[in-house]
Amino acid sequence: MQLLCISLAVLAALALGSGYAATLPTNSAPSVFSSDPSPNSNSNPSEEFADSELALPAGSIDLGDAVAPSPALLSSDSNEVVPCSLSSPELNECIRGLIQSFAPKLRYRGVPEYNMDSIDPYFYKRGIFRYTNDGIQGGLLIKNMEIYGISQLQVNSVAANFTDSGFIIKLGVELPQLKAGGHFKADVKFGGLRLVPKGPFNITIDNIKATILTDGHIEQLPSGQQRLSLHRLNANVNIGDAKVVANGIFSDRNLNAMILNLVNENLPEITRVGIPATREQWAPILIAHINEFFAKVPIEKFLVQ
pLDDT tens-digit series, residues 21-32: 333 223 333 332
Contacts within 8 Å (CB) and 24+ apart, 216-222: 216/166, 216/167, 217/165, 217/166, 217/167, 218/166, 218/167, 218/299, 218/303
Amino acid at 107: R
Half-sphere exposure of residue 124: CA atoms within 13 angstroms, side-chain side: 29
Task: Identify the CA nearest to 250 among candidates 238, 242, 258.
Answer: 258
Name the residue ranges covered by the structural domains of the chain.
Answer: 2-304
Amino acid at 177: Q
How far apart CA 173 and CA 147 sit, in angstroms, is 18
> Over 60: is that where the pLDDT of 36 sits?
no
Amino acid at 192: G
> Over 90: is that where the pLDDT of 12 sits?
no
- At residue 68, the 3 state secondary structure works out as coil
How far apart CA 29 and CA 194 sit, in angstroms, is 12
> Over 90: is that where the pLDDT of 91 sits?
yes
Amino acid at 257: A
CATH topology of domain 2-304: Bactericidal permeability-increasing protein; domain 1 (3.15.10)
Strands 154-162 and 167-190: antiparallel
pTM of the predicted model as reported, rounded to 2 decimal places: 0.68
How would residue 134 be classed by pLDDT, with cut points 50, 70 and 90?
A: low
Contacts of 201 (CB under 8 A, 6+ apart): 6, 9, 181, 182, 183, 184, 244, 245, 246, 247
How would residue 211 be classed by pLDDT, with cut points 50, 70 and 90?
A: very high
What's residue 31's pLDDT? 32
Query: Counting beta carbons within 10 angstroms of the beta carbon of residue 249, is it exposed (0 to 12), middle (13 to 18) or buried (19 or more)?
Result: buried
Phi and psi torsions of 57, nearest 5°:
-70, 160
